[in-house]
Chains A and B, each alone.
Chain A
Amino acid sequence: MIRFLGIFRLLKIAKKSAFRMNFIVCIKQVPDVSAPVSIRDGHLQTDSDRMVLNAYDASAVEEALVLTEKHGGRVDVVLIGPEKAKETIRKALAMGAEAGFHIPVEDGAGYDSAGYAAILAAFLKTHSYDAILTGKQSQDTDSGLAGGMLADRLGLPYAANAVGLELEGNALLVKRQGDTAQEMVLVPLPGVVTCSNDMNNPRIPSLKGIMASKKKEVTTVSPAELGLDAAALKPATVVTGYRNVPARNPGKKFEADAEELARTLVGLLQNEAKVI
């Protein structure tokens, strides 16, 4: 009877999909860009210093979860960051990822995308995943480089700026946002996909998810264990200081009936702004 049930379960999984895909999602902890920021001694400070899971990475986690719920498989996450950033790993685990890897680096280590990509590549060379997902960019720096750099370092095919993801045979069918059209591309596996937040709306972890995440494993892997030496990671790009965006000239605001508003605006655009 037990044996029979076991086979039944196996068959059920097999029916779901022939291919159970293992995902790893690269996640980053970033300052909350919607909090007010100020510049002190050339350093950036957000009002709350609140740190969050990069929104683009949250969409990547969500998409991997949806695909594994549909086809089977598992989702792990990896994060490079200071000790405090482990809370962001917990967030992804609470969403439903199975295991987390934390690669500790000092806060303010000053790595650029190339540095993070080098560390991620060294880590991923020692692990086997079918699909590697990243965010399309970090919300705080809008760099958008690490995904492509990682793919190149691993010698893997990739698609960037994905707004849709499907499993097709043993490949990922990616809908990506291009300049004037969307492109459907087939990425053979193993491969890398960088995800847009236009792909989905990431789930809010449930209470059950949060409780379950506490029992999930987070493995620490030091850069030294990965055979990385600090000199090789020395960033080629360095932020030397921050400045405020020059203020726009104060504008004019009008409240009146529609016809008067239209006349006023067209007059100003013609005679003051001189753009018509």
Chain B
Amino acid sequence: MRPILVYLAVSGGRLKKSSLEVLSHARGLAKQAGAPLEALIVDADPGAHVAEAANYGPDRIRTIADPVFGTHLNEPLTQALETAIRAADPAVVCFASTEAVKDVLGALASRLGAAALPDVSHFELTADGVKAVRPVMAAKVLAETVATGTTVLVSVRSGSYDAVPAPGSPAVEALPFALGNVGVVLKEILAAAGGQVDLNEAQVVVAAGRGVKDEEGKRLIEELAAVTGAAIGASRAVVETGMFPATTQIGQTGKVVSPTLYFAVGISGAIQHVAGMANSKVIVAINKDGDAPIFQYATYGLVGDLYKILPALIKEWKSL
């Protein structure tokens, strides 16, 4: 059996939880198929993440090191992935569906002549490829999709699986890498003010919508996020006002999240927003319009003015 290779993304100095979720799922599939499980770390200093990766049971860890990977640029990452895939010759390559992966998946598939299944919520191996479930039509329906080919690339929505450790002692191999021609130049990184909690990693998300109208509303969102230990998310409509950075946008255009607890505050529940949060375990909706579509998805719906409910909720939470 040819190996299954899982690319482990690094973010904020750690392996991304969503990557470890994919590695955990792939471990089960590899075992079932009798295929070796390999992990790949591409970073300025990949060695720093080997121990954590080993904790999730791959048979082998391949690393590619280059200072260029201190920041994201599509061409170097594509080259690194191509190098590793040619070296490992895997039947299937799995990714967590991060923005960085979305940035390279098409070009990588084309360069390798591989089939690509982006943004799946479930996948398994078949005799000649991969069978997956993909949310489509703004995540209103699920498409059963099969991919065949010598190599199949699969990217997985965050939160689709649990990250479950299974410590092992894998072989570690550093792959030689020489950066080739890169046309695009990275000029500047515009980091969001105040640093940014990675939304994909968050167990609790407090998301603001257009119902949050002013600095006072923003402060309430920030305070609720602080007391609940949440990352802040936002709807497209409120991002457009400039009150919250674009990196917080959740939905079809923005990020897909599936935290344990999701607060939708002053969000109407347009399908393009729901597409990014419907898989949250518990959804709390706070909206003054009792007929807002968001209540169709809410585990607990609170009908009322967010400017009154949030202070009471913050107070109640603090008294726990």
Residues of A near any B CB (own CB < 8 A): 31, 33-34, 37, 39, 44, 46, 56, 113-114, 117, 136, 139-153, 156-161, 163, 173, 175-188, 191, 196-198, 236-245, 248-249, 251-259, 261-263, 265-266, 268-270, 273, 275-276
Contacts and interface: CB of A to CB of B under 8 A. Distances in A.
Contacts, number: 273
Contacts of B115: 114, 236-237
The residue in B74, B75, B108 that gathers the most chain A C-beta atoms within 10 A of its C-beta is: B74
A263 B145 CA distance: 45
A262 B316 contact: yes
B142 A244 contact: yes
A268 B141 contact: no
Contact of A240 (B144, B236, B272): B144
Interface string B42-75: 0000000000000000000000000000011111
B299 interface: yes
A152 B107 CA distance: 5
Contacts of B188: 183-184
B196 A158 contact: no
B253 A198 contact: yes
Contact of B183 (A140, A188, A197, A261): A188
A253 B289 CA distance: 12
B110 A139 contact: no
Interface string B277-317: 01001111000001000010111111111001101110111
A159 B107 CA distance: 11
A236 B148 contact: yes
B236 to A, nearest CB: 7
B119 A182 contact: no
Nearest to A156: B183
Contact of B72 (A140, A143, A178, A236): A178
A253 B298 contact: yes
Contacts of A156: 183
B175 interface: no
Interface bin, chain B = 35 or more
A182 to B, nearest CB: 4
Given A177-B99, A262-B315, A265-B300, A186 B185 contact: yes
B139 A245 contact: yes
A151 B111 CA distance: 10
Contact of B192 (A160, A181, A184, A185): A181
Contacts of B33: none
A181 B190 contact: yes
A159 B74 contact: yes
Given A37-B137, A39-B141, A262-B313, A151 B187 contact: no
B149 interface: yes
A151 B107 contact: yes
A160 B183 CA distance: 14
B174 interface: no
B106 A144 contact: yes
Contacts of B303: 253-255
Contacts of B198: 179-180
A177 B72 CA distance: 11
Contacts of B143: 141, 239, 241-242
B88 interface: no
Nearest to B284: A265
A239 B102 contact: no
Interface string B105-126: 1111111000111110000000
B110 A179 contact: no
Given A242-B142, A266-B320, A177 B107 contact: no
Contact of B304 (A34, A56, A142, A261): A261
Contacts of B297: 248, 251
A168 to B, nearest CB: 9
6 contacts: A144-B106, A157-B75, A182-B247, A185-B73, A252-B299, A261-B313
- Considering the complex of A and B, which 7 residue pairs feature the smallest CB-CB distances, nearest first? A148-B106, A157-B183, A236-B115, A145-B106, A262-B312, A152-B110, A148-B107
B74 A160 contact: yes
A142 B72 contact: no
A159 B317 CA distance: 44
Contact of A148 (B104, B146, B283): B104
Contacts of A257: 308
Nearest to A267: B316
B99 A157 contact: no
Given A175-B190, A245-B142, A198 B300 contact: no
